[in-house]
């Protein structure tokens, strides 16, 4: 059993003490809504002392209060649902509104004029949560039950509905990670019933994105997407907060069961899912291939009373079965399988010491053997989720709820989820998840104006992954190689990873094995107090979250070879060390990496938060929101036995303790009619240091007991002698001077990510349930994390550096043209390390800024006249200084290690134009008799998303000769060309048009049978998910051009534009390599049939 350290015990004691001593604290709630208004008489004069009660129509739970001297009342902590509101005052007739709808985080206003005594004032109204929000300044659209239940969702991951709100875009792979306002996908917060639903290690939703989903959609009542100016109650997010509220039982048994069946047999082809077959001329040709892909989803959700008006139950069960064989492909088959040029065959012959004819035979034979590692890969994913919940009305003043979620996911070969994967048939990886959590909540009405809410959570997210057995090709070349190849037996019994430019990666993936990655448990306690006093609604509270992470993974433990061409790979495959670096015989690969050390470690983090929020209704038309939140992430202490005396910075983690976030906003009902509102606000928000980054700093210290990571470049005169001959791996840390371990440490001035957000929204009610708004959305990221190698000589006078190790200049010959133009390109070449004890010394620093500015136009129409729709257009620009979405750490993410200025450019999340529309439309006619069974109950629910494609940067393959590390300038940083800019190229636009058509048969009013057909990507738009980003490759061997052969050497290297020499030198850079290659948002046209039974 994992241990609980003293800091956790101390944190729990502090939180419990605060729970007991809290005195008074409403703002926006994580799990409830509110009902408020002003009561007046027929003349408009306020009515004070009126008794107000709200009774839940499903459970009979009742909330009461009285109006104050200004006639104002407010009922807080009201669970989402439908209520009957009753107002009684002496001398006036009773007022009753029988359908008052409350949504999470919203205030439903009911402001009646009471009739004189004796007049009947029972009314049939639908006092829904207002579309015009004139009480709070937050920008927080809510997806209601109508949208969640009826809109089609590709893949079943209901949280992707967040993409239907402005300011939200998907990551480049559309795998389920979301960016809010240009901020990293790793800096968001996901909650369920107010409890943290994140995995701290990878900073994603529990279970991560490979699972179908972590909670059944049938258990979701509604969810809210908070992107800015949200209450100080929310935190631990520099991006957005997705807040989900689950369903509860009522006094009547209600529920539904469902089954969905989706089969690619009636779907469209993906033209980039291909297999390679011999073409009869000694080469290979690619042919489109449609693999099997079917998924079945079934389950139910049902709730009812255990004890009428007292105890209620709800249970949801979901089964998800996905059979989706993948196809192992090359990233660029035209280039990879192209006939070798004469220069290539000549070089291969020279290296192997054979004739050109023999080299041709060897090349073709090796390519045919390598092709056997491509093709169809059996792959499945099975998931089960059980979600029970109890709600207990203890008495009129105390209400408790208990929920539990158990999810299991098993997916052989399922780590890679795309249809086409640039990995070998045995390199997809097996994926398993065991996710279990429970939440307990107690709401207490101390007085009508003084409320308390306490939450407790315990959860475990256990993920583990393993490699598949080696393929025959890997077994014969990487594990037990024999003649005619150089004989070798791998001591670990598993193949190293091999990556080839324009090709694919095979062998054990560098990220495996993972017996526990992570095994993460979370304990959370939160308490919130709400006090309504006059025109003030004050809310304050505490939140404590303890996370224990056990991580068993030694990345790159089996070794990793990187090749820039098939020529270099086949050279190493057939003869060891057949390339040269000056007079030194070296391997032909570009770089080799391997980690040596213990499999893993366990550590803990504690997150503390304190907040206070005051919603001050200064005037009936003006509300001012003032909030303040403090957050502190307590980092673990470094492992004392791993602190490196040669690098004392590995022994210090300076926690950021100054995370004080003020928040201010206003909501102004301009004309007092509730029709036109101006809202605005500003706030400072903080993100977490993700636990995988902490893990890197804890374990990568360069000491014998740590995880030692070695990266050896064959273009470095000091590192090349240490590089093992292919396919050999390191059995122990290399002893030569050029092989030193990397280390990772936190910068002494490191700060948590800080975001400044600001909004201004003008919203107008057009009538007929339709609202239009125009919003400015702004976000300024400050102190965002990045990584830089500080062990690089920047000049010859630096301590530990000399003139021989000082930076010099490398000049490349430009061959085959491309966007660079000209004849040559020169850049700085980094050649030495001031600290000879280490290779890269990665400083985790917080110096990256980002900016996001947007104009959003929205139109929302609430369900009336058989139509509900939401539509928005967002123009935006996101730019930054190289914001990254990397877990763990990168060795060096800067092009030049001494400046971030060249990193400025478009953000990887920059989407200038995005239009989103969704609707639910029901048949408006009512046909009587038997014909009505067929004519009535039709529904059409489309979703349309159109946007610019995401940007990308031109990359360079290969390493600079003589550099101290990898890359075009030897720094090991981003391998790009500075004069071409960051993210200066863009993929084609994306379009997702999905729709559901359904027919409901109703029996005895209580029972319904719904038949559904969901259509995804109706126009079969080839949405580009990947392009060839390699613009140039560094070559030290001869290059073929249209005008002849260019001589390239280590002393005079070439920068060769990426072209297909077998196709008239057509450019490969920017060519499409994958479309619709996501299991969630972008797929080929698919059809899903379903049936749903309601009762």
Task: Tell me phi and psi for residue 282, to 5 degrees.
Answer: 85, 0
User: Hey, which residues does 263 pair with through a beta bridge?
Assistant: 294
Give the distance from CA 962 to its chain's centroid. Answer: 38
Cα–Cα distance measured from residue 554 to residue 599, given in angstroms and rounded to the nearest whole number = 5
- Tell me the two tokens of residue 906: 């478009």
Cα–Cα distance measured from residue 374 to residue 902, given in angstroms and rounded to the nearest whole number = 39
- Nearest CA to 414 out of 208, 179, 690 is that of 208
CB atoms under 10 Å from CB of 215, counted, come to 25
- Tell me the two tokens of residue 1075: 């479309």
Listing DSSP states for 331-387 in one string gives S-HHHHTSPPPHHHHHHHHHHHT--HHHHHHHHHHHHHHHHTT-EEE--EEEEEEEE
Do 771 and 765 contact (CB within 8 A), yes or no? yes
- Tell me the two tokens of residue 109: 């206003």
Residues 6+ apart with CB under 8 A from 415: 210, 428, 429, 430, 431, 465, 509
- Nearest CA to 738 out of 753, 717, 754, 759 is that of 717
What's the pLDDT at 120?
Answer: 54
pLDDT under 70: residue ranges of the chain: 1-30, 118-131, 134, 228-229, 278, 280-284
Do 631 and 686 contact (CB within 8 A), yes or no? yes
Tokens 């045995």 appear where? Answer: 426
CB atoms under 10 Å from CB of 736, counted, come to 13
* Cis preceding linkage at 513, omega within 30: yes
Cα–Cα distance measured from residue 663 to residue 87, given in angstroms and rounded to the nearest whole number = 35
Residues 6+ apart with CB under 8 A from 894: 786, 788, 882, 900, 903, 971, 973, 974
Distance set, CA 996 to CA 157, 377, 902, 949 (Å): 16, 32, 47, 26
- Tell me the two tokens of residue 210: 């490979």
Beta strand 241-246 pairing with 189-192: parallel
Burial of 119 (0-12, 13-18, 19+ CB in 10 A): exposed
Give the domains, in start order, of the chain with CATH numbers.
29-123 (2.60.40.1120)
- Tell me the two tokens of residue 566: 């098939």
Q: Specify the DSSP class assigned to residue 446.
A: E
Tokens 């800019």 appear where? Answer: 981
Do 381 and 414 contact (CB within 8 A), yes or no? yes
Task: Tell me phi and psi for residue 965, to 5 degrees.
Answer: -145, -155
- Tell me the two tokens of residue 787: 């990584």
Distance set, CA 453 to CA 29, 221, 233, 627, 630 (Å): 10, 20, 12, 19, 19
Cα–Cα distance measured from residue 560 to residue 644, given in angstroms and rounded to the nearest whole number = 26
182 dihedral zone (left: phi>0; alpha: psi -120 to 50; beta):
left
Residues 6+ apart with CB under 8 A from 192: 215, 244, 246, 405, 439
- Nearest CA to 248 out of 106, 401, 145 is that of 401
| Three-state DSSP class for residue 795 | coil
CB atoms under 10 Å from CB of 937, counted, come to 18
Listing DSSP states for 583-601 in one string gives TEEE-SSSEEEEEES-SEE
Distance set, CA 83 to CA 34, 864, 898 (Å): 11, 20, 62
Listing DSSP states for 655-699 in one string gives ----EEEEEEEEEEETTSSSSEEEEEEEEEEEPPPPHHHHHHHHH
CA dihedral sign, ordered 963, 966, 968, 974: negative
CB atoms under 10 Å from CB of 573, counted, come to 24
Give the distance from CA 760 to its chain's centroid. Answer: 27
Beta strand 1086-1094 pairing with 1007-1016: antiparallel
248 dihedral zone (left: phi>0; alpha: psi -120 to 50; beta):
beta
- Nearest CA to 622 out of 136, 270, 261 is that of 136
What's the pLDDT at 140?
Answer: 72
3-state helix, strand, coil in the chain (%, to 5): 10, 45, 45
E strands along 156-293, which residues?
Answer: 168-170, 178-180, 189-192, 195-196, 198-199, 204-205, 220-226, 241-246, 254-263, 274-278, 284-288
- Nearest CA to 187 out of 202, 174, 197 is that of 202
What's the pLDDT at 22?
Answer: 37
What's the pLDDT at 280?
Answer: 65
| Three-state DSSP class for residue 1011 | strand
The 3-class SS string of 218-231 reads HHEEEEEEECECCC
CA dihedral sign, ordered 409, 415, 418, 419: negative
Do 828 and 896 contact (CB within 8 A), yes or no? yes
Burial of 120 (0-12, 13-18, 19+ CB in 10 A): exposed
Residues 6+ apart with CB under 8 A from 767: none
Burial of 494 (0-12, 13-18, 19+ CB in 10 A): buried
Do 396 and 448 contact (CB within 8 A), yes or no? no
What's the pLDDT at 65?
Answer: 92
- Nearest CA to 510 out of 391, 403, 595 is that of 595
What's the pLDDT at 130?
Answer: 61
- Tell me the two tokens of residue 969: 């300038």
Task: Tell me phi and psi for residue 164, to 5 degrees.
Answer: -85, 5
């Amino acid at each position: 059993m994992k241990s609980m350290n003293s800091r956790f015990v101390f944190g729990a004691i502090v939180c419990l003490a605060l729970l007991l001593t809290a005195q008074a604290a409403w703002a926006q709630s994580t799990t409830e809504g509110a009902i408020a208004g002003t009561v007046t008489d027929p003349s408009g004069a306020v009515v004070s002392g009126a008794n107000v009660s709200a009774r839940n129509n499903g459970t009979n739970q009742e909330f009461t209060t009285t109006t104050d001297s200004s006639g104002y009342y407010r009922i807080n902590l009201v669970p989402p649902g439908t209520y009957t509101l009753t107002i009684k005052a002496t001398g006036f007739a009773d007022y009753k509104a029988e359908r008052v709808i409350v949504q999470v985080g919203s205030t439903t206003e009911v402001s009646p004029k009471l009739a004189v005594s004796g007049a009947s004032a029972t009314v049939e109204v639908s006092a829904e949560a207002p579309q015009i929000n004139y009480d709070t300044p937050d920008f927080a659209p809510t997806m209601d039950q109508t949208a969640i239940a009826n809109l089609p969702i590709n893949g079943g991951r209901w949280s992707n509905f967040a993409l239907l709100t402005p300011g939200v875009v998907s990551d480049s792979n559309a795998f389920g990670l979301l960016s809010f306002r240009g901020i990293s996908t790793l800096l968001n917060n996901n909650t369920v019933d107010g409890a943290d639903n994140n995995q701290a290690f990878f900073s994603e939703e529990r279970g991560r994105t490979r699972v179908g989903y972590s909670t059944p959609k049938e258990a979701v009542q509604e969810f809210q997407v908070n992107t800015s100016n949200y209450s100080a109650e929310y935190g631990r997010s520099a991006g957005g907060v997705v807040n989900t509220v689950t369903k509860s039982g009522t006094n009547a048994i209600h529920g539904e069961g469902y089954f969905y069946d989706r089969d690619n047999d009636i779907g469209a082809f993906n033209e980039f899912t291909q297999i390679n077959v011999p073409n009869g001329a000694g080469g290979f040709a690619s042919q489109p291939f449609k693999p099997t892909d079917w998924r079945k989803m079934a389950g139910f959700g049902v709730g009812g009373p255990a004890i009428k008006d007292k105890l209620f139950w709800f249970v949801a069960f979901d089964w998800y079965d996905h059979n989706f064989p993948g196809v192992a492909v090359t990233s660029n088959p035209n280039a990879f399988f192209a006939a070798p040029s004469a220069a290539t065959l000549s070089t291969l012959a020279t290296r192997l010491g054979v004739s050109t004819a023999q080299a041709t035979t060897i090349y073709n034979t090796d390519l045919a053997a390598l092709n056997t590692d491509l093709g169809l890969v059996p792959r499945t994913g099975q998931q089960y989720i059980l979600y029970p919940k109890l709600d207990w009305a203890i008495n009129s003043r105390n209400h408790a709820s208990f929920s539990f979620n158990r999810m299991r996911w098993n997916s052989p070969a399922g780590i890679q989820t795309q249809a086409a994967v640039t990995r070998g048939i045995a390199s997809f990886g097996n994926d398993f998840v065991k996710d279990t959590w429970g939440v307990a909540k107690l709401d207490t009405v101390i007085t009508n104006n003084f409320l308390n809410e306490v939450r407790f959570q315990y959860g475990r997210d256990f993920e583990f992954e393993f490699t598949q057995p080696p393929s025959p090709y890997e077994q014969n070349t990487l594990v037990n190689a024999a003649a005619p190849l150089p004989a070798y037996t791998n001591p670990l019994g598993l193949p190293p990873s091999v990556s080839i430019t324009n090709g694919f990666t095979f062998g054990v993936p560098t990220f495996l094995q993972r017996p526990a990655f992570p095994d993460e448990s979370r304990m959370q306690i939160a308490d919130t107090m709400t006090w309504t006093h006059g025109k003030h609604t004050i809310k304050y509270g505490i939140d404590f979250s303890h996370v224990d992470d056990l991580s068993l993974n030694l990345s790159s433990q089996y070794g990793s070879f990187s090749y820039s061409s098939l020529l270099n790979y086949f050279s190493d495959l057939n003869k060891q060390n057949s390339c040269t670096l000056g007079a030194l015989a070296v391997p032909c690969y570009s770089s080799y990496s391997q980690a040596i050390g213990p499999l893993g470690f366990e550590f803990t983090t504690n997150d503390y938060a304190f907040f206070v929020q005051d919603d001050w209704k200064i005037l009936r038309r003006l509300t001012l929101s003032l909030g303040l939140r403090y957050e502190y992430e307590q980092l673990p202490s470094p492992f004392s036995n791993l602190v490196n005396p040669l690098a004392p910075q590995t022994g210090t983690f300076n926690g950021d303790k100054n995370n004080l976030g003020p928040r201010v906003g206003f909501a102004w009902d301009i004309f007092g009619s509730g029709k036109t509102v101006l809202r605005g606000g500003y706030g400072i928000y903080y993100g977490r240091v993700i636990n995988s980054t902490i893990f890197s700093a804890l374990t990568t210290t360069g000491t014998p007991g740590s995880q030692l990571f070695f990266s050896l470049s064959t273009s470095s005169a000091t590192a090349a002698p240490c590089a093992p001959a292919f396919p050999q791996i390191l059995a122990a840390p290399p002893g030569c001077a050029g092989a030193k371990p990397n280390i990772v440490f936190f910068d002494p001035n490191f700060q948590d990510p800080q975001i400044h957000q600001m909004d201004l929204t003008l919203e107008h009610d057009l009538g007929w349930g339709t609202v239009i708004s125009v919003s400015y959305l702004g976000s300024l990221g400050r102190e965002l994390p990045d990584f830089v190698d500080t062990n690089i000589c920047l000049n010859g006078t630096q301590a530990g550096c000399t003139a021989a190790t000082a930076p010099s200049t490398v000049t490349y010959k430009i061959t085959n043209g491309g966007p660079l133009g000209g004849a040559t390109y020169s850049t700085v070449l980094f050649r030495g390390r001031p600290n000879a004890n280490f290779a890269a010394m990665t400083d985790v620093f917080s110096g990256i800024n980002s900016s996001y500015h947007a104009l959003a136009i929205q139109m929302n129409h609430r369900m009336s006249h058989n139509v509900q729709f939401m539509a928005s257009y967002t123009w935006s620009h996101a730019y930054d200084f190289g914001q990254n979405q990397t877990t763990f750490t990168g060795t060096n993410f800067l092009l030049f290690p001494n400046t971030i200025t060249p990193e400025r450019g478009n953000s990887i999340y920059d989407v200038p134009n995005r239009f989103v529309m969704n609707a639910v439309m029901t048949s408006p006619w009512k046909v009587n008799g038997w014909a009505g069974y067929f004519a009535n109950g039709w529904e059409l629910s489309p979703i349309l998303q159109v946007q610019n494609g995401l940007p990308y940067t031109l990359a360079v393959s290969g390493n600079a000769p003589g550099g101290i590390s990898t890359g075009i300038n030897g720094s090991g940083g981003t391998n790009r060309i500075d004069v071409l800019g960051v993210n200066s190229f863009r993929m084609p636009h994306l379009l997702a048009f999905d729709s559901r058509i359904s027919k409901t048969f109703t029996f005895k009013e209580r029972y319904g049978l719904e038949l559904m057909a969901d259509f995804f990507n109706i126009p079969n738009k080839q949405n580009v998910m990947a392009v060839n980003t390699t613009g140039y490759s560094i070559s030290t061997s001869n290059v073929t051009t249209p005008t002849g052969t260019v001589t390239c050497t280590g002393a005079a290297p070439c920068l060769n534009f990426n072209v297909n020499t077998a196709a008239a030198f057509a450019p490969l850079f920017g060519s499409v390599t994958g479309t619709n290659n996501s299991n969630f948002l972008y797929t080929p046209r698919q059809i899903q049939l379903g049936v749903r039974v309601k009762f």
